[in-house]
Structure 1
Amino acid sequence: MIVKCPTCDKDVVWSATSPFRPFCSERCKLIDLGDWAAENHRIPDKAPIDQALSEEYLAELEQEFIAQDNDFFKH
């Protein structure tokens, strides 16, 4: 099977003899990795964040944490 390199669109044979598949080379693989690290590629979040709900949830978690008789806040 032949696929296109996601970085440069060169044809790549999809087989065990292609060590960088689906990329054509280590260079293209590293370019793609760098794009993910720089957040140029992201999986879209379909649900917007409800800021009020998030703050309420964090407040509840904080109260639960404080209510657990732990030593974190006692020092």
Structure 2
Amino acid sequence: MSPRSPAEAKCPICRRPTLAAFAPFCSPRCQDRDLLNWLGDGYALPGDPVDPDDIGLDKREGQD
């Protein structure tokens, strides 16, 4: 399977053809929608929930 050329690529938000200035999106509107999905937890990886208090803690801390 050959990689898609930029002319064939579709915007992941609205599926319109992408524009090089906004790649991989078609417009600043779709770029903004994607960013809002990330900031609003619209995208998530499967897995167990993490306690916010544990984020960024190194398990080795306090073992001096």
Which of 28, 35, 38 is the matching residue for 2:37?
35
Q: Which amino acid is 1:8 matched to?
A: C
List 4+ stretches of structure 1 deviating above 4 A: none
| Higher strand fraction (1 or 2) | 1
CA RMSD of aligned residues (A): 2.4
Which of 8, 19, 30 is the matching residue for 2:14?
8
- 1:29-74 alpha-carbon deviations (Å, 9 max, x no partner): 11001011100111222xx47xxxxxxxxxx86xx72x74xxxxxx
Q: Which has the larger radius of gyration?
A: 1
Q: Could you tell me the TM-score, scaled by structure 1's length?
A: 0.52
Give the fraction of aligned pairs with identical amino acids, expressed as a percent.
Answer: 33
Which ranges in structure 2 are unaligned for 5 or more consecutive residues? Answer: 50-58
Which ranges in structure 1 are unaligned for 5 or more consecutive residues? Answer: 50-59, 69-75
| Higher helix fraction (1 or 2) | 1
Q: Which amino acid is 1:39 matched to?
A: D
Q: Could you tell me the TM-score, scaled by structure 2's length?
A: 0.60
